Structure 1
Amino acid sequence: MKKVNVVAAIIFSGDCIFATQRGYGEFKDYWEFPGGKIEFGESPEEALVREIREELDADIEVLDFVLDLEWQYPSFYLYMSCYKCVLRSDYTLLEHEDGRWLGKDELDSVNWIDADVIVVDYLKDNM
């Protein structure tokens, strides 16, 4: 079984968190926290800064580690590290269909990718 190591940005602005809707692939139309695969030789934080630049054409500041999670999908095993971040520039959606700032009471208003539901549940308890 293929193992995939990824990082995800939990981007805060005030009491809201930024979520993105995938525009491609197996999970098209599902919502996620932006991020992606860690490349060889990168730290998780470096990978996150690079991925947000690639996906959102934006600069972020990685503030704190939030949580690690593991999830078994039918075709791969996911290991995801999540970090609290803030935007340091404007953004442009380059790979996603949509992006939204969601308050705690709005987190269940979108259809999250399975693994990201764990993050959402954590945030609802800890925001």
Structure 2
Amino acid sequence: MPNDNLHVAAAIIVRDGRILAAQRSHGMKDGWELPGGKLEPGESAEQACRREIREELGIELGVLWPFSTVRHDYPELSITMDVFCAPVPAVTELQMLDHEALRWLDRDSLLSVDWLAADLEVVRSLGLSWSDVFEDMHL
């Protein structure tokens, strides 16, 4: 069992019926992830999600809907990841401030990238509930 516990927040960024997958330029850079990052002391998961997306992609998120919380043990650390759905307008221009690559994926291409293990759990859940999520949130 890993010693280090990390609490992170991530966003399922939604635009035109697709979600954003990001590949980091450092750290766990071989896998794809939902953008986001570590909570800072005294910060809520929602605050961290907004800050991390601003720092990584250069955009301000509007409405956030809680989607799930995932706990995953990697060999070197355990993470708790709070995940939010975040719709963004089609005209939103993303910057690659912390990533090597970005891809927009629809439901049929969700598994076309090599997701990090914790993110894969979320993506599989999203794939199963895709219609409900997108209908309920008017996305």
**The two structures share one fold, judged by TM-score above 0.5:** yes
Q: Deviations over 1:10-42 (max 9, x none)?
A: 0111210011011111x1131000000011111
Normalising by structure 1, what TM-score?
0.94
Q: Name the structure 2 match of 1:85.
A: 86
Normalising by structure 2, what TM-score?
0.86
Please tell me the root mean square deviation across aligned C-alpha atoms, in Å. 1.1
Query: Number of residues paired by the alignment?
Result: 126
Look up the SS of the partner of 2:128 in the other structure: helix
Pick aligned residue for 2:120 from 86, 99, 117:
117
Q: Name the structure 1 match of 2:110.
A: 107
Q: Name the structure 2 match of 1:6.
A: 8
Kindly indicate whether the alpha-carbon contact (under 8 Å) linking 1:62 and 1:83 is maintained by their aligned counterparts in 2: no
Q: Name the structure 2 match of 1:70.
A: 71
The answer to whether residue 31 in structure 2 is matched with residue 35 in structure 1 is no
CA distance in 2 between partners of 1:29 and 1:60 (Å): 26
Runs of 4+ in 1 over 3 A off after TM superposition: none
> Unpaired segments of 5 or more residues in structure 2?
131-139
State the identity %. 41
CA distance in 2 between partners of 1:61 and 1:47 (Å): 14
CA distance in 2 between partners of 1:7 and 1:115 (Å): 12
Kindly indicate whether the alpha-carbon contact (under 8 Å) linking 1:20 and 1:34 is maintained by their aligned counterparts in 2: yes
CA distance in 1 between partners of 2:24 and 2:124 (Å): 20
Kindly indicate whether the alpha-carbon contact (under 8 Å) linking 1:6 and 1:37 is maintained by their aligned counterparts in 2: yes
Give the strand-richer structure, 1 or 2.
1
Pick aligned residue for 1:21 from 20, 23, 29:
23
Look up the SS of the partner of 1:80 in the other structure: strand
Kindly indicate whether the alpha-carbon contact (under 8 Å) linking 1:68 and 1:79 is maintained by their aligned counterparts in 2: yes
> Unpaired segments of 5 or more residues in structure 1?
none
Kindly indicate whether the alpha-carbon contact (under 8 Å) linking 1:49 and 1:59 is maintained by their aligned counterparts in 2: yes
Q: Name the structure 1 match of 2:134.
A: none
